[in-house]
Structure 1
């Protein structure tokens, strides 16, 4: 009995000792993601748990991952990262909008990733245009986690009511891509729909009702720049005025309702989702999931939308720019205070695969970030998202610059003014005054 007790004590010590060694050898990393888990976005963090053992085996280490996932307001979420960074308590990996690179990189909160990216062949599969949104000061500071496009949706039902043939309806995205159907054609078609009573007045074209990156497409589409070749902020008054003249014309001509700016989002989406009320709508690819789940579920959800609605690039406003869209990738960034950036990057590489990204893209109705996802049956078999993947080859993005928020707010001031019947040249001057007041010599007014 005495020998048994001694043996048991020795075994206990061995267990404790082994646990202690394992605990000492374990590499602890914290990853924080913002996600609407009810909207299928949980894979932003959950994918790391799926690849944890794979990375452990590849690196010969033990990992102790802490995954923090919540759906706080973006402002609060980002502010908490800033405060944690200043206190030296930031997570190793933070998921946020790529535009935060413009503020967090110069502040020293995140680290450049070029050398770490080069060590992982998985990243060669990322759609090339998405890397543009990860740059600041000539270096790469983030890895795209997801993508979307901001297209023009159109009702197949209402185009048919206008007398369009099935071939004309089905070929519309390609004709936009080829420059054969421009924004002028869209406006004319919307006007025809109103004039012929196919839609009510104001229902020919709906645009965004609130502030957001979508408004930048109008400025980009008229040839405007936000950053010059030296990386300095720019405001092009000629491009801005052309864009505002067009935006102001929508309600004046009756194709857009005069209360479009500020309209309740539920009213807007209820009008658009049925494909029976609004002919064209400038939105985001993520709207599709919202409509399928919350607005036309009783009609068949996704199947109903596929039958009655489609989407296309933002048609060309002029010959020089051509059709475009805008995407706003969320990005994985590594904190400059991380003690194990190589391990953090190995984890990011492990979730940057078709299998992992498909889980997120399909569940959350986001576009995939990888070229080879178009070779995946699961991805291609979901036309609600894969039909828009080509748009990433024609995308633009908001700039990574600390002054972007001020620039964006000034442009929004001008858009609201023009939509409310302020003369476009006066609306441009409102933006100029606001930009020079807030940014001074940090911006060039052309």
Structure 2
């Protein structure tokens, strides 16, 4: 956005493109209506609510300036079952000319939004309002990039990592010095993915754990951080296409086979339900699990923990370790984002998004929904310090975060690579056979949307 707030106000006061009042404003006011698209999201009401509050704040500015111009929010609330279904509904609405000014979406749909002509390029807006975004955690910008430019603003963030039960390690004979050193060894590449499986297997052998470790039992993005540990970069930024390497995929599946063979990972893991997966770790049977930071509350309840000190005495967090010694660890974040429609109101819409993204409103959302912040300074705010100690602890981990590619077919990609996981863990295929099968299916299903690197 090139205009300052006063310039926007001047444009609004002289504009004749006003619509009927749709949000609280004086009866005499001329109103610019901003269409806001959002799923009905009881678990995150401030995703849309913070935009509404930003409009109220801007209206107070207009009133103080003596202007009778007002901003109204027309909330288009959908009943889509999830963000993927919602994104498809949004694209349908755009295709028939019902393009909203702001949409709340999962970041991986940005590429599709750009190609469909829906998403506005926000590079000029971000540059012109640099002070409003100066504290943004830099890694999060990756989640809204498409072909090297930003088409969204991160609305929240998260961390998916490996959880470790310290009590099981202690029962297996590992002292506190070993436990305390583990995160650092992961970050330096000294502790690898194979070491993870060896450690888990040792706790089972010694009777300290019934299960070494568990992962999600169905298709999902969590596996991407494990794939990245083996050097699999699943997206080509320059060509905006998905990609895969046969060698990397073989190494990744080889690691899973290693974990099953040494007894650390159940061979029938992909037949588990979510309830049994959660119960394995929260019930104290499994040494480790990889999933997301939002599990902290349920873990506190299951283990009978009451504060931060008790929690980190019981559990340790680590990134997905490197696939080999000296490599870099990985984790995963999956931000929800604000996307501004390429409409006549895009400058004003972008301003509202910027206002909704500031420390105070975003903190209210983050703390209330167990999301890590989008701005570093949020971790110093009283509400975060009082209620968000786990989120503060997780924020530095964003340094190693991976993001799902902004590509419409990432869901198909994940589903196909998951068939290889099932085949290897159940012993139906060798890692090499599974890699060949998956690559063949990717070529058939995704065609020109995927690049085979070797």
Query: Does the pair score TM above 0.5?
Result: yes
From the superposition, tell whether residues 187 and 71 of structure 1 become closer, same or farther in structure 2 (CA, over 3 Å). Answer: farther
CA deviation vs aligned residue, 1:90-125 (integer Å, no higher than 9, x gap): 322111111101211111122211112222221121
Contact 1:153 1:282 in 2 (8 A): yes
Q: Which whole-Å CA distance do the structure 2 matches of 1:270 and 1:162 have between them?
A: 21
Q: Which of 58, 65, 69 is the matching residue for 1:55? A: 58
From the superposition, tell whether residues 79 and 280 of structure 1 become closer, same or farther in structure 2 (CA, over 3 Å). Answer: same
Is 1:34 the equivalent of 2:39? yes
Q: What is the aligned partner in structure 1 of residue 433 from structure 2? A: 426
Q: Which whole-Å CA distance do the structure 1 matches of 2:438 and 2:409 have between them?
A: 14
CA deviation vs aligned residue, 1:268-287 (integer Å, no higher than 9, x gap): 1122124x221110111122
TM-score for both structures, normalised by structure 2: 0.86
Is 1:218 the equivalent of 2:221? no
Cα distance, 1:307 vs structure 2: 4.4
Cα distance, 1:146 vs structure 2: 0.7
Contact 2:147 2:237 in 1 (8 A): no
Q: Which whole-Å CA distance do the structure 1 matches of 2:363 and 2:101 have between them?
A: 24
Cα distance, 1:349 vs structure 2: 0.8
Q: What is the aligned partner in structure 1 of residue 147 from structure 2? A: 137
Cα distance, 1:359 vs structure 2: 0.9
From the superposition, tell whether residues 216 and 257 of structure 1 become closer, same or farther in structure 2 (CA, over 3 Å). Answer: same
Q: What is the aligned partner in structure 1 of residue 136 from structure 2? A: 126
CA deviation vs aligned residue, 1:27-65 (integer Å, no higher than 9, x gap): 11122333642x4x2221122233333222446641211
Cα distance, 1:290 vs structure 2: 4.2
Q: Which of 89, 110, 130 is the matching residue for 1:80? A: 89
Moved more, 88-97 or 225-234: 225-234
Q: What is the aligned partner in structure 1 of residue 179 from structure 2? A: 169
Is 1:371 the equivalent of 2:380? no
Contact 2:91 2:116 in 1 (8 A): no
Cα distance, 1:21 vs structure 2: 3.8
Q: Which of 196, 204, 211 is the matching residue for 1:186? A: 196
Unaligned runs of 5+ in 1: 1-17
Unaligned runs of 5+ in 2: 1-24
Q: Secondary structure at the match of 2:113?
A: helix
Q: Which of 344, 364, 373 is the matching residue for 1:339? A: 344
Moved more, 230-239 or 51-60: 51-60
Cα distance, 1:26 vs structure 2: 1.0
Q: What is the aligned partner in structure 2 of residue 280 from structure 1? A: 288
Q: What is the aligned partner in structure 1 of residue 7 from structure 2? A: none
Q: What is the aligned partner in structure 2 of residue 356 from structure 1? A: 361
Structure with larger Rg? 1
Aligned residue runs from structure 1 range 306-345, under 5 A: 306-319=312-325, 321-336=327-342, 338-345=343-350
From the superposition, tell whether residues 157 and 252 of structure 1 become closer, same or farther in structure 2 (CA, over 3 Å). Answer: same
RMSD of equivalent CA atoms? 2.3
TM-score for both structures, normalised by structure 1: 0.87
Q: Secondary structure at the match of 1:283?
A: strand
CA deviation vs aligned residue, 1:212-262 (integer Å, no higher than 9, x gap): 111122221111222346324321000000000111222222212222113
Cα distance, 1:410 vs structure 2: 2.2
Moved more, 139-148 or 61-70: 61-70
Contact 1:183 1:316 in 2 (8 A): yes
From the superposition, tell whether residues 35 and 320 of structure 1 become closer, same or farther in structure 2 (CA, over 3 Å). Answer: farther
Aligned residue runs from structure 1 range 154-165, under 5 A: 154-165=164-175
Contact 1:134 1:143 in 2 (8 A): yes
Q: Secondary structure at the match of 2:270?
A: coil
Contact 1:177 1:313 in 2 (8 A): yes
Contact 1:156 1:310 in 2 (8 A): yes
Q: What is the aligned partner in structure 2 of residue 387 from structure 1? A: 393
From the superposition, tell whether residues 300 and 403 of structure 1 become closer, same or farther in structure 2 (CA, over 3 Å). Answer: closer
Q: What is the aligned partner in structure 2 of residue 147 from structure 1? A: 157
CA deviation vs aligned residue, 1:282-301 (integer Å, no higher than 9, x gap): 11112223444xx528x346
From the superposition, tell whether residues 296 and 35 of structure 1 become closer, same or farther in structure 2 (CA, over 3 Å). Answer: farther
Q: Secondary structure at the match of 1:225?
A: coil
Contact 2:172 2:207 in 1 (8 A): no
Consecutive aligned runs of 4 or more in structure 1 exceeding 3 Å deviation: 18-21, 57-61, 67-72, 289-292, 300-307
Q: Secondary structure at the match of 1:197?
A: coil
Q: Which of 235, 238, 241 is the matching residue for 2:247? A: 238
Q: Which whole-Å CA distance do the structure 2 matches of 1:19 and 1:182 have between them?
A: 63
